[in-house]
Amino acid sequence: MVSSGGMYNTKFPTWEMATATSSQAYDGQLAYAYAKRGQVLLCERLAEAEKSVKYVTCHPGWTDTPGVTATYGDQKKYLQPMRSMYQGSEGISWLCMAPAAELESGAFYLDRKPRRKHLSGVFFTEGSFTKNEESETDQLMAKLQEWAETPGK
């Protein structure tokens, strides 16, 4: 599953905040970060539950796409060096073809290697600010199950 470095900014919030059904104002950048963090949590849980399948997430690196330009505008210069779309897709393509025995299920890949999922410590070390408690992930999974079983969704 293709996630993003955008998830490094936050942990997964309450369902209401993540789905913009709370009273807080909608923030597109946070909504993106919540979705990407949620993908990582989902794949971690799927990897635990189903050992015969390799569930992984990945970050294509900061890739020069229309979405990045629309979101960051002139500020995208701080994300340099940017990758071309081809460069960003290379690691994703590799994950699709890599032998399963070489993949670490539940891992977050960048440039063909598992990477940290949390960079909220001092000087981008492994921190805890963006880590969800197991009970928070349980709530996410329950809400996803509920949503999946709701007719018309």
Q: Which positions are catalytic?
A: 32
Strands (E), 17-153: 57-58, 108-110, 113-115
Using H for helix, E for strand and C for coil, what is the string for 116-139?
CCCCCCHHHCCCCCCCCCHHHHHH
User: Is 92 in contact with 58 (CB distance < 8 Å)?
Assistant: yes
Nearest to 63 by CA among 81, 80, 86, 88: 88
Q: Work out the end-to-end distance of the chain between its first and last CA atoms, rounded to an integer number of angstroms.
A: 21
